[in-house]
Amino acid sequence: MAKRTRNESPERQALREMMAAYLKANPVHDGKEVNDVMREMMSVMLEGVLDGELEEELGYSKYDYKNKDTDNARNGYSPKTVHTSYGDMDLNIPRDRNGEFEPQAIKKYQNTLTQDMEEKIISMYAKGMTTGDIESHLNELYGIEVSDSTISRITDKILPIIKEWQERPLEEIYAVVYLDAIHFHVRTDGRIIKKAVYIALGIDMDGERDILGMYVGENESAKFWLSILNGLKNRGVRDILIACVDGLSGFPQAISAVFPETEIQHCIIHQIRNSTKFVSYKDIKALMADLKKVYTASTEDIALLELDTFAEIWDSKYPTISKSWREKWATLSTYFKYPEEIRKIIYTTNTVEGFNRQLRKVTKNKSVFPTDESLLKMLYLAAMDITRKWTGHRQDWGKIRAQLMIYFEERLKNIE
């Protein structure tokens, strides 16, 4: 059998021979021992690099006092533990007497060596792992000791990215925007407060979904939504054809104040839940069957007739249900204007609620967040993970777009 030849540089050949000699004296039997060898090699190499940096800084090699032309000098070493993909590495960092030396291979306050390790921590954080889980995981897999503060410091690096994402330019026109809130417990000034995270999810004219923004606020309110809508406008949104919202009081007024031409669709599912909240379990099946005839009617006129029939049957027992539907009919009935394809995407906020459910899966291990920033970090990372899996638009989007172009002809006349 012909001997395999390698086209290698002399330096690489010398390194191979050195490694062969080392492995002959120190046999490696498994992956853990390979990891240990890599860590030791890296530490020796880094200490050599750091000594070289100090030598260049001082201008003379160790004990070469004849060429010394400075009042500065070596001043021993400081121990430092650095987290790496191969485990915790103990290094001796050279010092100078005047404290002027700024090492470059390992910066003065750096304690994580590789970008890879930081990416691992951020990825685990995005999956909803607690800091305790991350510490345990890194220790078990890599033998690395990472503190809460280190994890926070690493994940804090994404805060400027979140700010940039929240302020990024948006499309001029969105076919549909879903507005909803999800609630979490956050520690504030020593107290645990329930806070709302406001989420705007848009579908643009190409049928592509996008999270337009996520914002932490004290309580869900029309006033806060007004500030968010103004923010969307400032980021370039000129028009929203249809906004799908829950039943929050004042919501339609807040939307109309910023986007006066926007059609508003009150979520039917929210309305059904609120309507049947106090219905007896003995009545719920029959009542829901009669109520379904209202919101599944083929036209608005038929729906109103079915609502009258519903009132005749159930008002004696549950008078607030039909009353609530009549009071909110202006925004509950918007979807009756449109054909089935458009109705399906606007009669409920399920699109954004599905996204919210995925966020809850990620955050289920966190009963209380220590700060607003820690909450936003986890939600942003989770959102990026979720939206990465979104692919293309609905198969029937071509038909939906064609219908929107007719229904909103004046507002879309400049759209190709």
Which range has the worst mean pLDDT, 233-247, 269-283, 360-374? 360-374
Measured CA to CA, the distance from residue 348 to residue 246 in angstroms comes to: 9
- Of the pLDDT bands very low, low, confident and very high (cuts 50, 70, 90), residue 110 is low
Residues of the chain with pLDDT > 70, as a percent, come to 87
3-class SS of residue 11: helix
Per-residue pLDDT at 369 exceeds 60: yes
Closest-CA residue to 83 (of 156, 150, 158)? 150
Measured CA to CA, the distance from residue 64 to residue 54 in angstroms comes to: 14
pLDDT digits 0-9 by tens, 299-355: 999 999 999 999 999 999 999 999 999 999 999 999 999 999 999 999 888 888 889
Per-residue pLDDT at 4 exceeds 60: no
Which range has the worst mean pLDDT, 172-176, 201-205, 362-366, 373-377? 362-366
pLDDT of amino acid 2: 47
pLDDT of amino acid 83: 72
In single-letter form, the type of residue at position 69 comes to D
Give the pairing of strands 173-188 and 239-245. parallel
Measured CA to CA, the distance from residue 256 to residue 28 in angstroms comes to: 71
Strand partners, 243: 177, 264
Q: Which long-range contacts (CB under 8 A, 24 or more apart) does 72-75 make?
A: 72/96, 72/97, 72/98, 72/100, 73/97
Alpha-carbon separation of residue 355 from 92, 200, 397 (angstroms): 49, 11, 20
3-class SS of residue 157: helix
Strand partners, 204: 174
Angle at 215 between CA 331 and CA 332, to 5 degrees: 10
pLDDT of amino acid 57: 79
Residues of the chain with pLDDT > 90, as a percent, come to 38
Cβ distance 307 to 294 under 8 Å?
Answer: yes
Which range has the worst mean pLDDT, 3-7, 261-265, 317-321, 378-382? 3-7
Give the number of other Cβ atoms within 10 Å of residue 278's Cβ.
Answer: 9
Say which DSSP state 351 is in.
H
Measured CA to CA, the distance from residue 158 to residue 241 in angstroms comes to: 33
Phi, psi of 283 (to 5 degrees): -100, -15
Measured CA to CA, the distance from residue 74 to residue 53 in angstroms comes to: 12
Phi, psi of 353 (to 5 degrees): -70, -35
HSE (side-chain half, CA atoms, 13 Å) at 339: 10
pLDDT of amino acid 95: 87
Taking each helix axis as running N to C, give the angle between helix 115-126 and helix 148-155, from 0 to 180 degrees, rounded to the nearest 10.
90
Higher pLDDT, 84 or 113: 84
Measured CA to CA, the distance from residue 31 to residue 87 in angstroms comes to: 13
Predicted TM-score (pTM) of this structure: 0.70
Measured CA to CA, the distance from residue 173 to residue 170 in angstroms comes to: 9
Per-residue pLDDT at 102 exceeds 50: yes
pLDDT digits 0-9 by tens, 16-49: 776 777 777 777 777 667 767 777 777 776 777 7
pLDDT of amino acid 31: 64
Per-residue pLDDT at 111 exceeds 90: no
Measured CA to CA, the distance from residue 180 to residue 270 in angstroms comes to: 11
Per-residue pLDDT at 174 exceeds 90: yes
Per-residue pLDDT at 63 exceeds 70: no
pLDDT of amino acid 1: 45
pLDDT of amino acid 339: 93
Q: Which long-range contacts (CB under 8 A, 24 or more apart) does 324-332 make?
A: 324/271, 324/274, 324/275, 325/271, 325/275, 325/294, 328/247, 328/266, 328/271, 329/304, 331/245, 331/252, 331/264, 331/265, 331/266, 332/266, 332/268, 332/271, 332/295
b/e map of 306-328 (b: 16 or more CB within 10 Å)? bbeebbeebeeebeebbeebeee
pLDDT of amino acid 306: 96
pLDDT of amino acid 312: 96
Which range has the worst mean pLDDT, 34-48, 231-245, 287-301, 393-407? 34-48
Higher pLDDT, 271 or 49: 271
Tokens 């926070």, located at residue: 152
pLDDT of amino acid 3: 47
pLDDT of amino acid 318: 96
Per-residue pLDDT at 265 exceeds 80: yes
When pLDDT is averaged across residues 261-288 and rounded to a whole number, the result is 93
Cβ distance 54 to 94 under 8 Å?
Answer: yes
**Count of residues making up the chain:** 416
For residues 165, 171, 175 and 177, what is the CA-based torsion angle, rounded to 10 degrees? 20
Closest-CA residue to 38 (of 86, 88, 82)? 86
pLDDT digits 0-9 by tens, 183-227: 999 988 889 999 989 999 999 999 999 999 999 987 777 888 999
Of 3.30.420.10, 3.30.565.10, 3.40.50.1860, 3.40.50.150, the CATH number of 170-267+349-416 is 3.30.420.10
pLDDT of amino acid 330: 93
Measured CA to CA, the distance from residue 415 to residue 49 in angstroms comes to: 60
**Residue 379 contacts by C-beta under 8 Å, 6 or more apart in sequence?**
197, 214, 359, 362, 363
When pLDDT is averaged across residues 392-411 and rounded to a whole number, the result is 89
Higher pLDDT, 4 or 278: 278
Alpha-carbon separation of residue 59 from 67, 72, 97, 107, 196 (angstroms): 8, 10, 14, 20, 60
Per-residue pLDDT at 5 exceeds 60: no
